[in-house]
């Protein structure tokens, strides 16, 4: 099959970018989208042209690196699918495909399809962990956790931090990501000691990094490749309000 690509090319954050036309012929329908971009880059290198810069790592749908806006949707047209798990059989022979980076003030373009998502790292550093200062951590199997809470914590922990929620949100809000990380620990006894400070610090850092406000549009949940639920945002709001009222 043959596809016509309109790929966003931008040297760095300080210069203006534009969509550039490419044609990739001989595409195997069983290729992943990233493998197709690999083929494009091989052609460009053979012609002594600059290859398209894009993020990738595991290519197994669990690392959250493959951030591409494809035909106006984060990660492309398939529901609950990362870019690396999107296959070319999802497109028609001869189709024109638009490929762009995430669009958010907090995710500045580094080059082409690569954006700087270190804002997520700063949010995690403010509380997305459990501190064990002395001795050995207790075996998790010895800690009783209600089945319902354990399942909700596991669902929240499925977030891979790709940033699709931010890219899909018209406000560029990071509430789904932050709420997943806060919910994951707030639901478990291991996260209880730092529960209040975690909510306060992570939300404050989210605001400091310039993410927008949540207005319950729901695009984040619709485009999340791991189907993180909006109910986590409701939990985050409760956690933050409680911490604001009662934590000194």
Considering the domain architecture, whether residues 228 and 166 belong to the same structural domain is answered as yes
pLDDT for the residue 136: 74
Note the maximum CA span of the chain. 63
Residues 104 and 44 in one domain: yes
Same domain? 93 vs 138: no
Using the predicted structure, report yes or no on whether residue 135 has a pLDDT greater than 80: no
What whole-number distance in Å separates Cα of residue 22 and Cα of residue 44?
A: 10
CATH code, domain with 157 = 1.10.1060.10
Determine contact, residues 206/123, Cβ cutoff 8 Å: yes
The tens digit of pLDDT for each residue in 18-51 reads: 999 999 999 999 999 999 999 999 999 999 999 9
Given this model, what pLDDT does residue 248 score? Answer: 60
Instruction: Please identify, among 82, 111, 140, the residue that sits at the C-terminal boundary of a domain.
Output: 111
> What pLDDT does 85 receive?
97
Q: Which of 70, 96, 72, 95 is nearest to 82 (CA)?
A: 70
Same domain, residue pair 125 and 220: yes
* Domain encompassing residue 184: 117-246
- pLDDT confidence band for 246 (50 / 70 / 90): confident
Among 59, 92, 111, identify where a domain stops: 111
Kindly report the three-state secondary structure assignment for every residue of the chain.
Answer: CCEEEEEEECCCCCCCCEEEEEEECCCCCCCEHHHHHHHHHHHHHHCCCCCCCCCCCCCCCCCCCCCCEECCEECCCCCCCCHHHCEHHHCCCCCEEEEECCCCCCCCEEECCEECCHHHHHHHHCCCCCCCCCCCCCCHHHCCCCHHHHHHHHHHHCCCCCCHHHHHCCCCECHHHHHHHHHHHHCCHHHCCCHHHHHHHHHHHHHHCCCECCCCCCHHHHHCCCCCCCHHHHHHHHHHHHHHHHCC
Q: Are residues 132 and 228 in the same domain?
A: yes
Both 130 and 9 in a single domain? no
What CATH number does the domain containing 76 carry? 3.10.20.30
96 CB-near residues (< 8 Å, 6+ apart): 3, 4, 5, 6
Q: Are residues 138 and 226 in the same domain?
A: yes
The contacts of residue 234 (CB under 8 Å, 6+ apart) are: none
Does 103 lie in the same domain as 126? no
Q: Do residues 93 and 148 both lie within one domain?
A: no
pLDDT at 201 over 90: yes
- Name the pLDDT band for 140 (thresholds 50, 70, 90): low
- The confidence score (pLDDT) of residue 52 equals 98
Same domain, 237 and 129: yes
Q: Are residues 99 and 191 in the same domain?
A: no
Tell me the pLDDT tens digit for each residue of 153-194.
999 999 999 999 999 999 999 999 999 999 999 999 989 999
What does the pLDDT look like over 76-134, one tens digit per residue?
A: 999 999 999 999 999 999 999 999 999 999 999 999 999 999 999 999 999 999 886 66
- For the chain, what's the residue count? 248
How many distinct structural domains can be found in the chain? 2
Domain boundary residue among 68, 89, 111?
Answer: 111
140 and 239 both lie in a single domain: yes
């Amino acid at each position: 099959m043959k596809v016509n690509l309109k790929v966003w090319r931008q040297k760095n954050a300080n210069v203006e970018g534009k969509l550039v036309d490419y044609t990739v012929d001989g595409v195997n329908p069983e290729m992943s989208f990233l493998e197709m971009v690999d083929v494009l880059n091989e052609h460009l290198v053979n012609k002594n042209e600059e290859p398209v810069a894009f993020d990738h790592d595991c290519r197994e749908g669990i690392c959250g690196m493959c951030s591409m806006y494809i035909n106006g949707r984060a990660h492309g047209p398939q529901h609950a699918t990362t870019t690396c798990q999107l296959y070319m059989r999802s497109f028609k022979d001869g189709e024109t495909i638009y490929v762009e980076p995430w669009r958010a003030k907090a995710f500045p373009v580094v080059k082409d399809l690569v954006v700087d998502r270190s804002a997520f790292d700063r949010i995690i550093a403010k509380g997305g962990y459990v501190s064990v200062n002395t001795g050995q951590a207790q075996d998790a199997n010895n800690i009783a956790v209600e089945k319902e809470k354990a399942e909700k914590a596991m669902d929240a922990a499925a977030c891979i931090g790709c940033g699709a929620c931010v890219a899909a949100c018209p406000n560029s809000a990071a509430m789904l990501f932050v709420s997943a990380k806060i919910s994951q620990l707030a639901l478990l006894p291991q996260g209880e000691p730092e529960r209040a400070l975690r909510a306060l610090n992570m939300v404050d850092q989210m605001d400091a990094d310039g993410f927008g406000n949540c207005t319950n549009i729901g695009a984040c949940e619709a485009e999340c490749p791991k189907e993180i639920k909006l109910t986590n945002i409701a939990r985050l709001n409760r956690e933050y309000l409680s911490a604001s009222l009662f934590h000194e």
